Amino acid sequence: MKGKLIAVDLTPILPGGENGGAKIFVLELIQLLAALEPHAKFVLLTHQKTHEELAKLDRSNLRRLMVIEQASAVPATSVRVRLISIARAILPHLPGRLRRVVGLVGYKLNITIKRRTTRRSLLREMGVDLLFCPFTAPTFFEIGIPTVCIIYDLQYKTHPEFFDPADVAHRDHTFLDACQRATGLVAISEYSRTVGIAHGNIAPDRIQTIYLRMARRLEAAPYVENTVLNRLELKPQLYLLYPANFWRHKNHEMLFTAFGMACKVGLPPEIRLVCTGASGERLDYLKQAAAALHLADRIFFPGFLPDSDIAVLMANCRGVIFPSLYEGFGLPVIEAMASGVPVACSNLTSLPEVAGNAALLFDPRVPDQIAMAIRNLVENDILRCELRTKGTSRAALFLDADRMANEYMTLFKSSIEKNSIDPQLSGFYTDGWVEPNLIINLPPSNGSQSIEIEFFAPDWLWYPKSNIKVTNDTGTFKRKIYIKRGNHSTLIFPVSREGGCFNINISPTLIPFNMGMGDDKREISLMITNFIVINKDGERLQLMSKILRST
């Protein structure tokens, strides 16, 4: 990667702890990558609201570039807030078939607003070799620049009730956009990879699992332990810890119910439950819930804490209780194990994969099981010792942060190489259907060549003909053709030896779901039945099967 320039989109980062574990992981990973590849250069694309907070990442080979300025973004932000408010008001009342359309328009408008203060060819002008999107959305995607996106989870698919309709629509389009545009996709667990393949129609070899190997991220400094515990009025071994933000899937209500049940059947009165996390409406609500259960004196909310304080709390707790309903990975589980702390956690989604047999597993939807786990963590010394021993061994599988960084860098390299060798298509599905925009990126060759694409318009389309318009990224080439319903038509256009990027716009389009034709909610236009590159010697290279495998 010597001399390569990697752009990292950090514009989604929020101040404080509102990004949850994703922010912790991403900032750690960036520092590891910069240290691993000192001869590569990294540019962090930032938002003004967190630009200065990220100054701690500055290195000789890593710099920040503010691409969204708060002052210039105020009108856009106001528009975005109004749009979100409108969407939240009307989406629940729209027929299901219309939500997809409204959501898609909203997503595209949001991306446009976010990018409006940046030059459309910013990355190309900077000479960027790869765009890394650690928060999934390929917002700054540019034709011809390989892109790597991380998929954390698809919670909105399993628990849509935890999100308002506008948020569900946005998350869905973010995920599908990443699936279509990314050269390489990363899942943070095999569970996330499996659901990503299922919901994103992703070829299995396009997405790989790279675990969060950060078990030793938290290390308590002995000389500050008493200071932290005294400040928070906590005593060693007399509290259970739940380190999580107060999002609904974290399941605090059920935990409080179970903790109250455990208290009623003899949990020692000096044992408290400590729940860390960022402030907000949910925190206020949960404080009220704890009071309503007459547990206000036993459930403690210290708020958002720095890593150093969390490390102290974890090292001195009786155990970590983790009743989450959904996790893409579950970083606090292995952090606790690495600290020698016994863990009891949910048996759903990725958590059994991460915890293995080293945690006490329970169904987080059953308060009796959580209550029993709480009592075992506190009272069963033999089990606690066994969990500590198994946990230390399990955490060893997730200790090698350098291995994690190497896996990412290997993917970056392969994505750059793939982009320079193979034709790349965006907006193309594995079943042959094309989105409204098909983007083709062709690498340089040793001579002139041409592209031949055969389109098919099924005879059941509602429109009598489809219009196809081709332009290149320099604006020097344009071509238009049309295809009648029920027919095949071949589009042929030349490509110089330097290669190039071509945008094929097709109209009109349809969404099968909106027409009562099954559950297909994609916006599609035509089908591709053949894709051929003809080289300078007239040799015809059939690329259809290769593209289908890589899409």
The model's pLDDT over 273-304, given as tens digits with 9 standing for 90+, comes to 999 998 889 999 999 999 999 999 999 999 99
Can you point out the beta strands (E) in 101-234?
130-133, 147-151, 184-187, 207-209
Kind and range of the H or E run holding 469: strand 465-472
Q: How many residues in the chain? A: 551
Of 415, 447, 433, the closest CA to residue 528 belongs to: 433
In this prediction, residue 118 carries a pLDDT of: 56
Side by side, the strands of the sheet bearing 130-133 are 62-68, 41-47, 5-9, 130-133, 147-151, 184-187, 207-209
Of 8, 71, 73, the closest CA to residue 45 belongs to: 8
The amino acid sitting at 8 is V
Kind and range of the H or E run holding 258: helix 252-264
The token pair that represents 284 in the structure block: 């206020």
* Weakly modelled stretches of the chain, pLDDT under 50: 71-77, 80, 97, 549
In this prediction, residue 535 carries a pLDDT of: 80
Strands 41-47 and 5-9, by their bridges, are parallel
Cis amide prior to 306 (ω within 30 degrees): no
Contact 500, 541 (CB under 8 A): no
CA 339-345-346 angle, to 5 degrees, is 155
CATH class of the domain comprising 222-399: alpha beta
What does the DSSP 8-state code read for residue 68?
E
C-alpha to C-alpha distances, 277 to 20, 119, 281, 338, 483, nearest whole angstrom = 9, 37, 12, 21, 57
Phi, psi (degrees; rounded to nearest 5) at 261: -65, -45
Secondary structure of residue 243 in the 3-state scheme: strand
**CB contact set of 212 (below 8 Å; sequence gap of 6+):** 25, 188, 329, 331, 334, 398, 404
Contact 240, 208 (CB under 8 A): no
The token pair that represents 50 in the structure block: 């967190």
State how far the Cα of 91 lies from the Cα of 107, in Å rounded to an integer.
Answer: 14
Kind and range of the H or E run holding 503: strand 500-507
CATH class of the domain comprising 5-212+402-419: alpha beta
Please count the other Cβ atoms lying within 10 Å of the Cβ belonging to residue 168: 19
The token pair that represents 110 in the structure block: 């949001």
Q: Where in the chain is the domain with CATH 3.40.50.2000?
A: 5-212+402-419, 222-399
The amino acid sitting at 343 is V
Contact 357, 305 (CB under 8 A): no
State how far the Cα of 352 lies from the Cα of 364, in Å rounded to an integer.
Answer: 13
Of 327, 391, 332, 322, the closest CA to residue 191 belongs to: 327
Kind and range of the H or E run holding 8: strand 5-9
Contact 53, 17 (CB under 8 A): no
Choose the CATH number for 422-550 among 1.10.10, 2.40.160, 2.60.40, 2.60.120: 2.60.120
Please count the other Cβ atoms lying within 10 Å of the Cβ belonging to residue 120: 11
| pTM of the predicted model as reported, rounded to 2 decimal places | 0.78
Contact 59, 43 (CB under 8 A): no
In this prediction, residue 99 carries a pLDDT of: 52
In this prediction, residue 544 carries a pLDDT of: 67
Strands 147-151 and 184-187, by their bridges, are parallel
Of 264, 327, 339, 257, the closest CA to residue 299 belongs to: 257
Contact 330, 20 (CB under 8 A): no
State how far the Cα of 177 lies from the Cα of 107, in Å rounded to an integer.
Answer: 10
Q: Where in the chain is the domain with CATH 2.60.120?
A: 422-550
The label of the residue with tokens 């109250």 reads 260
The label of the residue with tokens 């059947």 reads 265
State how far the Cα of 86 lies from the Cα of 88, in Å rounded to an integer.
Answer: 5
Please count the other Cβ atoms lying within 10 Å of the Cβ belonging to residue 446: 8
